[in-house]
Amino acid sequence: MAWETDPYEDRSEAGRSLAEKLVKFSKEKPVIVGLPRGGVVLAAEIARALNAELDVIIAGKLRAPYNPELAIGAVTEEGAVYLNDMAVRSLRIKPDYIEKEKRERLRAVTERLNLYRKIKKKVPLKGRTVIIADDGLATGATMISAIQASAASGAKKIIVAVPGGPQDTVDRISGMKEVSEVVCPLIPSLFFAVSQLYLDFRQVEDEEVVAILREFAPEKERKGA
């Protein structure tokens, strides 16, 4: 499928555009989850439009032995593990390897989240409709880990919302049993990088993410930060 519109001006415009396509979920009182850092900007626009709760998710990808690019599952910040049972069986991965990998990835996730959780506590996802937003798809590895982590946290329904990405990645994520729907308006016929979806693709810093989380944090959490 070729381009149908011009690139987005920036992440904020992309978030507002996605929000128009996600308003149908507002009655389900969804949690809008952004992938740091760029995805949090889009998630904030969606949360404002849907009057929804906002959170961030950093899922630790559990890496296959001898092939760190291949995900065999994910670990959430609470230590819950989601495994791709088929991959684990086909690669004959032993439980002691999975436990070691879980500890390592959980350590990395915790270190990165320390700053964010000082500002806003995690929103429980159990039994909730969860909309996972990022600023675009490429290989999909980060999004897949976030989907797996949301499933491990007990999400009832998972919707993936991204402004654009390649067709094969969109198809792969749409085919995941955990995913109810993928909203991805732009699918360029020639995809090179997420940056091509935007006119302004400046780097998002932690300070901006912290400011967004502070905006959505309950007052008692803001006072304690």
| Predicted pLDDT at 48 | 97
Residue 220 has pLDDT above 70, yes or no: no
| Predicted pLDDT at 73 | 82
The class of domain 11-58+122-224 in CATH terms is alpha beta
Q: How many CB atoms lie within 10 A of CB 17?
A: 18
pLDDT tens digits for 127-145? 999 999 999 998 787 888 8
Sign of CA pseudo-dihedral 51, 144, 110, 150: positive
pLDDT-derived band of residue 2, with 50, 70 and 90 as boundaries? very low
Tokens 């990165």 identify what position? Answer: 112
Residue 22 has pLDDT above 90, yes or no: yes
| Predicted pLDDT at 225 | 54
Residue predicted with more confidence, 1 or 8: 8
pLDDT tens digits for 32-87? 999 989 999 999 999 999 999 999 998 777 888 988 777 788 787 778 787 878 88
How far is it, in rounded angstroms, from Cα 129 to Cα 16?
19
**Pseudo-torsion of CA 111, 117, 121, 122, nearest 10°?**
-40
How far is it, in rounded angstroms, from Cα 170 to Cα 168?
5
Name which of 157, 139, 138 is nearest 147 in CA terms. 157
